[in-house]
Amino acid sequence: MGEKGLNKPKIIVVMPAYNAAKTLKITYEDIPPNAVDQIILVDDGSTDETLEIARELNLTAFVHTRNFGYGANQKTCYTEALQEGADIIVMLHPDYQYDPTLLPEIVAPIKAGEADIVLGSRFLGRSTMEQGMPWWKYLGNRFLTKLENWTLGLNLSEYHTGYRAYSRQTLAEIPFLLNSDKFVFDQEILVQAAHLGFRIVEVPVPTKYFPEASNASLSASIIYGLSILFLLGRFIFQKVSSIELRQFRAVHSRYRRA
């Protein structure tokens, strides 16, 4: 891992893991040397050897006593990374669906002071259908992205990527602990960020689809899509009413730096 200099930001990778034993090691090995200072893995009640492999790799590991969900896993990831003093937090799934070698490109806009959040977009490069994205997932992604752009007044190519980087200040002010424990957590945090005025930048990333990589079923994707519609409905309700919802209000946590 990298050495932190006087002006070098502390970069921590967080891995929300669930039954990632088959791909964790290759994901870890493809992270560029000296690109990060620490890797935190949160095991969300895996039933395979994920935790054992994480310890063999000397990762900082935390364990949930059962499977609480993807959002709950991220809550632990970000809380622990902030407590460890991270300046930049990168979420990298340990299922090897996203390319770990691109991590320097993911953090570069934040290091340069040009962004608060960086999203690795699968839609800025080669066709996602050619890369193996199922057609029904492609259509759902395109529809929801257009709807989210319209609702938030943004022009992002994708909201549904799992490859992301956040500045410390962003996670210290966004009330992410109020978010869902499920997959819609990813969208909630982007709606919060857009509402609070944080700068979101995208960089192109390829993705991989193979049996060992996480891939939600059609039914799970439908539930996820409906959850996003409900989220956008709550956000629009707040905008047109005089009622401010706690979920969209900045917090002043102890993790903020002056």
Q: Taking Cα atoms as reference points, which of 26, 73, 66 lies closest to residue 46?
A: 66
Within-domain flag for 258: no
**pLDDT band at residue 5 under the 50/70/90 scheme:** low
| CA separation for the pair 181, 176 (Å, rounded) | 10
Residue 123 CA, distance from chain mean position: 16
In a domain? residue 182: yes
Q: What is the pLDDT of residues 166-225, one digit of tens each?
A: 999 999 999 999 999 999 999 999 999 999 999 999 999 987 765 555 556 778 888 999
* 146/175 Cα distance (integer angstroms): 25
Q: Is residue 5, in this structure, part of any structural domain at all?
A: no
Residue 65 has pLDDT above 60, yes or no: yes
This prediction has a pTM of: 0.91
pLDDT at 248 over 80: yes
Cα Rg for the chain, rounded, in angstroms? 17
CATH of residue 150's domain is 3.90.550.10
State the CB neighbour count (10 A cutoff) for residue 140: 18
Task: Convert the pLDDT of each residue in 125-155 to its tens digit.
Answer: 665 655 556 767 778 888 999 999 999 999 9
- Tell me the average pLDDT of the chain: 90
The Cβ of residue 6 has, within 10 Å, a number of other Cβ atoms equal to 4
Judge whether 252 lies within some domain: no
Tell me which residue range forms the domain holding 168: 11-247
Total domain count, the chain: 1
